[in-house]
Amino acid sequence: MNDVISEYQKWKQQGDDLRAKAKQAMESRFHGLLSEAIELAEEYRADFGVSLKPPSAVTSFRYKASKGKAKKAGKAKAAAKSDRVEARSPAGPRKPNRKVIGLQKRLATAQHKLEESKATGKPTRLFEDKIYEIEDELRLAGQA
């Protein structure tokens, strides 16, 4: 009877070791595949300007853009890609972004209202804050 029990315990220990190794291997493969998917999604977005949509079975897939050394390498890749895009695209003027145009109109309106307030002697703090916010949004949109 002791043989059966000790044999079972050895089998169970081997199963636990194998289970731990399999768990580690699956986690490693999962992280590798996710990293590859992130790289592919970033490249797709950089090349085509839109993000990839996951299959319908995937309900959520979010990632944070990599920082540090990987980001620097990404900039080099992006610069090389932009060189290729510039070589392919004609040298015509680009269409302005509709969001930027809207922000510029809001900025002009806020500046006009600021000048009116200064002329009439009314408080200007509200308009100054508004102008600062709009200019910040423009900077974020890539315009100064």
Return d(Cα 138, Cα 104) in angstroms, integer: 8
What pLDDT sits at residue 27? 93
Return d(Cα 117, Cα 131) in angstroms, integer: 14
The tens place of each residue's pLDDT in the chain, 144 residues long, gives 688 999 999 998 998 899 999 999 999 999 999 889 888 888 888 888 888 888 888 777 676 666 654 444 444 454 445 445 444 545 555 666 788 888 888 999 999 998 988 889 888 899 899 999 988 888 888 744
Closest by CA to 27, choosing from 16, 35, 38, is: 35
Return d(Cα 71, Cα 77) in angstroms, integer: 10
Fill in the amino acid letter for 29. Answer: R
Return d(Cα 24, Cα 12) in angstroms, integer: 18
